[in-house]
Amino acid sequence: MTVLVTGGAGYIGSHTVKLLVQRGYRPVVYDSLIYGHREALRGGDFVQGDLHDTARLVQVLEQYHVTDVMHFAAFAYVGESVQDPLKYYANNVAGSLALLQAMRAVGVQRLIFSSTCAVYGLPQKPVLTEEHPLCPINPYGESKLFVERMLQSSAAAYGLRWISLRYFNAAGADP
């Protein structure tokens, strides 16, 4: 199976690519390198590209015979999202829309989405579950929640199979 990993040169994406290679998958990293680092990649093919370039995404999906997508590409600084919210909506929401359009054009039906705990907003209970109300308090969280809603709509309309990972803080070290 060939997996397109958008944002695969970022922290979480590059570690995911490493694991995919170890597990026998063929990852194809698609990253603009605005925040990613080419030297962080440890395997797979690399394509430098803009997430908004639907035609290029279609080309990559077809060229590599991609079967699944792991979508990690996003701007992810909460403070910056408050100072420049349109930057976050343009990148995180419009970029995800372009990816979904490309996937639909070539028939790729499975996606893992890197979301965030920021979709929950302020905790109403000491332990958060998936049933916690979704009430983001910043544009970053709003942008991720909007993408989740696009995924829900795409599942209902086009049969997209997806899952959203709402992790908190990613931390670690890798030599």
**Catalytic residue positions, numbered:** 140
For the beta sheet containing 26-31, the strands, ordered from the edge strand earlier in sequence to the opposite edge, are: 45-48, 26-31, 2-6, 68-71, 110-114, 161-165
Find residue 144's DSSP bridge partners: none
Q: 55: helix, coil or strand?
A: helix
Q: How far apart are CA 101 and CA 169, in angstroms?
A: 30
Task: Give the N- to C-terminal CA distance of the chain in Å, as an integer.
Answer: 28
Q: How far apart are CA 114 and CA 116, in angstroms?
A: 7
With b for 16 or more beta-carbon neighbours within 10 A and e for fewer, the 157-175 pattern comes to eeebebebebeeeeeeeee
